[in-house]
Amino acid sequence: MTDTPLASPAGDSPPTRADFTRVAELHRRALKLHCYRMIGSLHEAEDAVQETLLRAWRGFDDFEARASIKNWLFRIATNVSLNMIASRSRRARVMPDQLGRPATEKPQGRPDTEILWVEPYPDAELDTLADPAAGPDARYEVRESVRLAFIVAIQQLPPRQRAVLLLADVLGWSAIEVAAVLDASVASVNSALQRARAKLATPDRHDRLTPTPMADEQQRRLLERYVRAWESADLDRFVALLKEDAIYAMPPWREWYQGRASITQFFASVWPAYRGFRLVPVGANLQPAFALYTLDAEGRWHAHSIQLLSLDREGIADFTAFMRPLAQGLFSAFQLPTVLEF
């Protein structure tokens, strides 16, 4: 999407608030995606966009129509996001494997709802595979920049470094443009960008951010087998689809599991408690994803979790199940029913 000038159709009179509303709405989804990358939360990103548009509306009279409406809105959105991050008692959203060593036993107690967890992002919120806000100098393709592993990794950057990296390498803005957004010098922007790139280039992070791609037909067959394994509760078939060093996490539980043996032991202990499973394909972070429903004694299928998979040629490398109570808000955000009707 190219930037849209904020001007009246006649071109000879000042822009109106109706013009502003029309143009701002064109950028809403791109702004929400930017805020999600900044904050790591689907729900907070929606709040940030609402605040961005409110501030822009209030500041409309001071806006110079000759300037870029897109840059103006992204400047507001970036600073709204930075303010939201600064207001947290704990600033970084995380995933379970960042909190400690892998577990070897079934979880005890209750899920940790005090931790700020990274959330998935619905593909339905993405207009196309081409980022509508990205410029020609973007270093990341949109698929790379919305993968869950990328969102998790950039949450560990200091907030201003995160903003610089997103504006420069994801949106393709120049150092001068980024400096204007952050009220910083070009030298400080370039320095922050170098530090952010170095942190993302460590071998462990690079491997998670750039898995070996899988051919479409191979992926389709693997996912079909994955669904059949779950819906038949065939543990052996399920585990056979995992890489030897696969990782399973289930926020808001802190416990996470690594390796086929550990994951097998976990699912062998929990699957017998369920009457049945149904998987509904959904899109999340431009990765394979499913909504999991479980069967109750009355024959109804109830929302359980949102599963997000990371694949490479050797199989399933990572899979995350966003569980209750976190899943309750996600089913609504993904426009999924809480009870399936057959």
Q: What is the pLDDT of residues 218-272, one digit of tens each?
A: 999 999 999 999 999 999 999 999 999 999 999 999 999 999 999 999 999 999 9
Residues 274 and 152 in one domain: no
Strand blocks (E) in the chain: 242-249, 256-258, 277-284, 287-295, 301-312, 315-322, 339-340
State the greatest distance between any 2 C-alpha atoms of the chain, in Å, as a whole number: 72
Query: And the tokens for 197?
Result: 């790139």
Residue of 60, 58, 55, 120 lying closest to 81 (CA atoms): 55
CB atoms within 10 A of CB 151: 23
Q: Which residue has the tokens 């930075």?
A: 82
Phi and psi torsions of 104, nearest 5°: -120, -10
What's the pLDDT at 88? Answer: 82
- pLDDT, tens digit (0-9, with 9 covering 90-100), for 111-140: 999 999 999 999 998 866 566 667 777 888
CATH number where 197 lies = 1.20.140.160
Q: What is the value of pTM for the model shown?
A: 0.90
- Residues of the chain falling short of pLDDT 70: 1-17, 63-67, 90, 127-133, 203-212, 342
What's the pLDDT at 125? Answer: 87
Q: Does the residue 285 lie in any domain?
A: yes
Residues 171 and 285 in one domain: no
Residues 135 and 169 in one domain: yes
The residue from 209, 225, 260 where one domain ends is 209
**Apex CA 311: angle with CA 307 and CA 312, to 5°?**
170
Specify whether the CB–CB gap between 322 and 119 falls below 8 A. yes
The residue from 209, 233, 252 where one domain ends is 209
Q: Which domain holds residue 159?
A: 17-88+120-209
What's the pLDDT at 208? Answer: 65
What's the pLDDT at 1? Answer: 40
Query: And the tokens for 85?
Result: 């991050």
Structural domain tally of the chain?
2
What's the pLDDT at 67? Answer: 60
Residue of 296, 282, 292 lying closest to 333 (CA atoms): 282
Residues 268 and 243 in one domain: yes
